[in-house]
Amino acid sequence: MKAFLFPGQASQEVGMGQDLYERFSEARDLFDEADSILGFALSELCFAGPMEKLSQTSVTQPAVYAHSVIVARLLATRGHVPEIVAGHSLGEYSALTAAGALSFADGLALVRERGRLMQEAGRERPGAMAAILGLEDDVVVRLCAEAGPVVVPANFNSPGQVVISGEVDAVARACEAATLAGASKVVPLPVSGAFHSPLMAPVAQALAERLEATTFLTPVVPVVANVTATPQTDPLTLRRLLLEQVTAPVRWSESVLALGGMGVDEAIEAGPGAVLRGLGRRITRDIRITTAGTADEIEALAQAGA
């Protein structure tokens, strides 16, 4: 059984998608459509940067989304069609589009607004995030509770890797406590806000109206949601979970294990980078994950057959 996995923010890199644009007419059409919808040259920022601009949340989110959806479309027309999909945080929007629950244009408009709102929330109420390595999930949950308010687990990425998020001082206290508790590494993350934490509540409030006005269709394949780590097919539920996702943790380890439990033994990471392949190897050895973010990788998969 085959799954598509879609990366989130921090997977972006200057040059992403340029080879796709140059070699595939389908990619050119979608990049050009994205530029038209957004009203600025997203393609130029993807291809040439600068990285400082590409890494701004309001740009990163539509950039990673567009690249990921383009890759999924290219794979599908070359015989690789998923039976189930999942995406990490922002990647859930790419997954929904690949599954047919969202149109490309609607998904792009949503992630642009999501990115803008998250960047704005980070300016109005600065926060911090950090990766805690080498501790059990329940230990990190406890340390956050003791260090708060406000600091919470934001991403359960893989066994021994949890990202925490919240107010700057509370995150610092939790990081210090994690070091004392035996964490192998504590890594502050270069982010513009405290994503997947209560500090993002204003984003959820503002995004709710936009989500409500967007048409969600029944996906052609199930989507494993970040909030529940379970497969979903109901459009209203998928919309609601996207809203909850803004302040809830990404349950990625559970999501990948759920895929394995449903019979997935092969997955393609559709989009820039190889972050999810790396996490997947630490979560389970039962799913073989292949990356597909470049023209060469897509053509190699096409030649290998479905």
**Residue 252 contacts by C-beta under 8 Å, 6 or more apart in sequence?**
88, 155, 156, 157, 158, 226, 279, 283
pLDDT at 168: 96
Beta strands in 20-126 (DSSP E): 84-87
Residues annotated as catalytic are: 89, 196
- Spatial distance between the Cα atoms of 101 and 216, rounded to a whole number of angstroms: 5
User: Could you read off the pLDDT of 148-206 as tens digits, one per residue?
Assistant: 899 999 999 999 999 999 999 999 999 999 999 999 999 999 887 999 999 999 999 99
pLDDT at 306: 57
Can you give the pTM of this predicted structure?
Answer: 0.96
pLDDT at 304: 81
- Please give the mean pLDDT across all residues of the chain: 96
Number of neighbouring beta carbons within 10 Å of residue 99: 25
What domains are defined for the chain?
Answer: 2-123+198-304 (3.40.366.10), 127-188 (3.30.70.250)
What percentage of the chain has pLDDT greater than the value 70?
A: 99
Average pLDDT over residues 93-104: 98
CA atoms within 13 A on the CB side of 10: 11
Angle ∠(139,142,146) on CA atoms, nearest 5: 140
